[in-house]
Structure 1
Amino acid sequence: MAQAASLAQLQAETSCPICLDYLRDPVTTDCGHNFCHSCILQRWEGLQGDFPCPVCLQHCPDRSLRRNTQLCHMVDVVKQLPNTEGEGKQQEEKPLCEKHHQVLSLFCEEDLELLCPQCQVSCDHQDHHLVPMEQAAACHRKRLKGSIEPLKKQLEEADMALDMQVSKSYELLWRVEHKRRNLHRDVEHIKHFFEREHNEIHVRLLNEESDVKDKIIGSEHQISEQESTLKSLLSEITGRCVQPDLDLLTGIERIHSTYENLESPAGFSYELKKEIFPLPPQYFGLHKMISTFQEYLTLDAETAHCSLIISQDGKTATFQGLEPNSVHKSKAFTSHPAVLGSEGFNAGRHFWQVEGRGLGELSLGVCKESFPRNVPIPPTPDNGCWQIQLRATTPGTGDSGNSCRVGVFLDYELGEVSFYDLYKRSPLYLYSAIFTGKLMPYFSVGSSSTSVTLNLVEDEV
Structure 2
Amino acid sequence: MAAEAAPCTKSSLREDLTCAICCDLFRDPVMLTCMHHFCKLCISRYWRGTQGPVTCPQCRKEFSSKHFQTNYLVAAMVEKVRATTSDTYVKNLEKQVKETLEDHRLKKEDLVNSVRRDKEKMNIIKRVGSDLEARVKGEYRALHQILLDEETCMLEQLRREQEEELEKAQRHLEAAEQALKELEENMEALQQCSAASGSVVLTELPHLRPCTQVDVTPDFDINAFSNKYVAPLGYIAWRRMLKSLKPGPSPLTFDTDTAHPNIHVSRDKTMAVECDVTNHPSHHSKRFLQCVNILAAQGFHSGRHYWEVDVGSSSKWDLGVASEAVDRHARIKLSPENGYWTLRLRKGNEYSAGTQPWTRLQLGSSPQRIGVFLDCDERKVSFYNSDDMSLLYAFTNGPRGKVFPFFSPCISDGRNKPHPIKLLHDLFIPLSA
Higher relative contact order (Cα pairs below 8 Å, separated by 6+ residues): 2
Same fold (TM over 0.5): no
Give the TM-score of the pair, scaled to structure 2: 0.38
Larger CA Rg, structure 1 vs 2? 2
Give the TM-score of the pair, scaled to structure 1: 0.36
